[in-house]
Structure 1
Amino acid sequence: MASTEHPALALAGVTKHFGAVRAVDGVDLEVRRGELFGLIGHNGAGKSTLIKLMLGLLKPTAGTIRIQGAPVDGRGFRDVRRRIGWLPENVVLYDNLSGIETLRYFAKLKGADAAGCAPLLERVGLEQAADRPVREYSKGMRQRLGFAQALLGEPAVLFLDEPTTGLDPVATRDFHATLATLREQGTTVVITSHVLAELQERVDRLALLANGRVQALGSVQALRERMALPLRVTLRAAPASVPALQRALALLPLAETRWLVDGLRALCPRHAKMPLLAAIAAVPGGVDDVQVHEPTLEDVYFELAR
């Protein structure tokens, strides 16, 4: 049994070459136990390859990988792998099996208790389709069934590659609710997604991959501050107060300023946020509403990917 002193995932100098292509190129990374960790990057950045390396499905050209303290290429990894769940980007299932038969099949392969299959189908909203053949499942239903198989055996580490593909808004909401519960229970989750808005408020930290390398690492807020992206500010005020607001804010370093009949839209450097709010508060009559929006994860991504 691996010591709990170890991080959930530890990668050092991990490299994977496919001929002349460096799919993963010298990645150093640690993911803490119980962390919800995001991997983002363009198509071909190395995300899926990195996950397959961590699962032991691919052998690295160089470097070391440890999961729960156990080397992926070591003898003890077989036991660790039973506590790993994986939902690949493209779910492939046996069309002639029913939903419950599919889960029981994977449970047997994984050495998990088949008694947990029916509750898992209910957990992902497929209890009414348990006995239907998978060939009759929609893309979203297949995705939910794939998620259920990833949860077999109560995994300590869960890898999710584009997990919300094909899910409708309700299923997506339920999926993220399940992830929140798993994190509370101490499960380590590594998730990739091109839908950055889904990750923005949910991940503890994330890594941006480009050309097989980690280009940036940290919490969303830390990356926002690192990039020094401006805040979006919207003020709404009575038309009579607008001239006074213009005078009060004239010396502040606002950008893309657009004065309207009833207020202002502008970009505000982070360091000027509190002076801006103080200047607004000093205006007689004040304002009716102030909205200060942080840069989105998408804003951060495009800035980092330049």
Structure 2
Amino acid sequence: MASVPALADNFDFAASGRRVLAVEIRGLEAIAARVDGAFGQACRLLLATRGRVVCTGMGKSGHVARKIAATLASTGTPAFYVHPGEAGHGDLGMITDADVVLALSNSGETDELLMLLPVLKRQGNKLVAMTGRADSTLATAADIHLDVSIPAEACPLALAPTTSTTAALALGDALAVALLEARGFTADDFARSHPAGTLGRRLLLRITDVMHAGDEVPRVRAEASLSEALLEMSRKHLGITAVVDDDGRLLGLYTDGDLRRTLDDAAIDLRATRIAEVMTRTPKSIGLEALAVEAAQLMEQHKISALMVVDAERRVVGALNIHDLLRARVV
């Protein structure tokens, strides 16, 4: 293990951290003051493009450009990242004449980016540059320049990109969110591009995706005995059974909890008692077209652990319990 420098013994790490954050906050405030007409022009250009937004940059600017591309793509603006060095060796073929290029360079003099300018201009690509120098080669060559110059880097040596990368990242977020709002992008739209995430599951997963259907649904007729109902519950392993009429419409529900209450009554004869006498009448149910998250909310609201799924005629078409929702990671 490497030895700890003697200076670290009495070093105030918290004070250093607060200083960095204060410097970066001042940098963001400086950027916010310059979100003006050029920002609006860039948004309109990105919104109107028939192609994609191609984000590019070298080094730390490349990492920021990659993140901006990911944020744009997940919020409704088709975008991807191209490494400028690789672009000069064949990846330029990924960029079509319908695309807009968003190039990041704090100095505005990154060789790998400048090398691409003649090709992009000849192809007719619009160029949005995000730099810290308005008089740089990249800034002056761009159709729209976004000034991300900052008062100071948080690095005390003014060497490591710190405030400058934070500023570029934040302005990229501002572009993505402004475009999101202008498009009328909704939570449902977001979920469609994040189907594996928690939000995607909550907004896309439907009752039909998690419910038990067909022969897996526990149900008995109203004239069935309590013992017959218990056998049905045991066979279907859901801890419930629906009680239905001759047309399959939901009349009531019998659950494990109902069974415990029934057994407390010594006068109950399991074979002679009809399920209709001990079932829960007008039970909570959910429609076939509902989202799985709506079932979770209904269970939580009414402190229940299972639901029958019914169609528009209240015919029982499915069943689910809290374990089905847990397995689907809806709750």
TM value normalised by structure 1: 0.28
Bigger Cα Rg: 2
Which structure has the highest helix share of the two?
2
Greater relative CO, 1 or 2 (CA 8 Å, sep 6+): 1
TM value normalised by structure 2: 0.27
Which structure has the highest strand share of the two?
1
